[in-house]
Amino acid sequence: MNARTPHRDAIRILFILNAGGVPLTDPDDATVAKIFKGEARLHAFDFWMRNPDYLASELLDAYETTSDIRYRQAAEAIFESDEPDLRRVPMIRYLFGAYERLDDALSLLRSRDLVRITGIKGKLKVHETDFILTVRGVDVCSTAVAQEPVLEWYARRSTLVAEVAGARGGGALKEKQYEQATYAQTQLGGIIPPIGPEVQRRLLQLKQAA
């Protein structure tokens, strides 16, 4: 049974754009609210959304760097709720990182005018694709959680991912994700394997060391 539906992907992307976008004001268009820069960055965010074990790994890195216990607790919570298994949506490695065409999801978002796709275009190809979140899109994010509480996870998780990603651009994030050995060793075109057990071990060590 294929549980993948464009709606689910679309809502996930919507939450990512909302969490990772920065406010945007256009004096000529009052309907725009935020802008999320870079498709690669979107892919990077989506990777962490879809692979909670890799996110947990990143959280532990953050914990080690900042000693902020919240990161570690966040990682711990991921495992406690079986997220690496339940929430995992496999991705395929392609050239510089996880990649999946998001056309279907974006179409859904675009058709409701929740997102507008724009970018800086060169003479031959697009240099950067940016995503503009409309005021309506931002509204949907908040009403959706109220209407369907099951979607709250997406709101929280996208916020966490955005926090972990910080101001890093898509290239930097992908590079970071690429560092993770298992990910790097994955053959091009192969499914990126779970790393849950290793991260859990690391978490345990860090907890004991604390």
Q: How far is CA 138 from the centre of its chain?
A: 17
Q: On the CB side of 86, how many CA atoms lie within 13 Å of its CA?
A: 7
Nearer to another protein, 139 or 179 (CB): 139
What span, in angstroms and rounded, lies between the C-alpha atoms of 66 and 63? Answer: 5
Binding part of the chain for another protein, among 33-41, 44-52, 72-80, 137-145 by CB under 8 A, reads 137-145
| C-alpha torsion 16→22→166→57, nearest 10 | 0
Least distance between another protein and beta carbon 66 (Å): 31
Q: Does 146 bind another protein (CB under 8 A)?
A: no
Q: Does 150 bind another protein (CB under 8 A)?
A: yes
Q: Does 29 bind another protein (CB under 8 A)?
A: no
Question: 116 and 131 in contact (C-beta within 8 Å)?
Answer: yes
Q: Does 11 bind another protein (CB under 8 A)?
A: yes
Least distance between another protein and beta carbon 142 (Å): 11
Q: Where are the beta strands (DSSP E) in 68-181?
A: 92-94, 97-99, 115-121, 126-134
Binds another protein by CB under 8 A, chosen from 140, 155, 165, 199 = 140
List contacts with another protein (CB under 8 A): 1, 3-5, 7-8, 10-11, 82, 85-89, 106-108, 110-114, 140, 143-144, 147-148, 150-151, 154
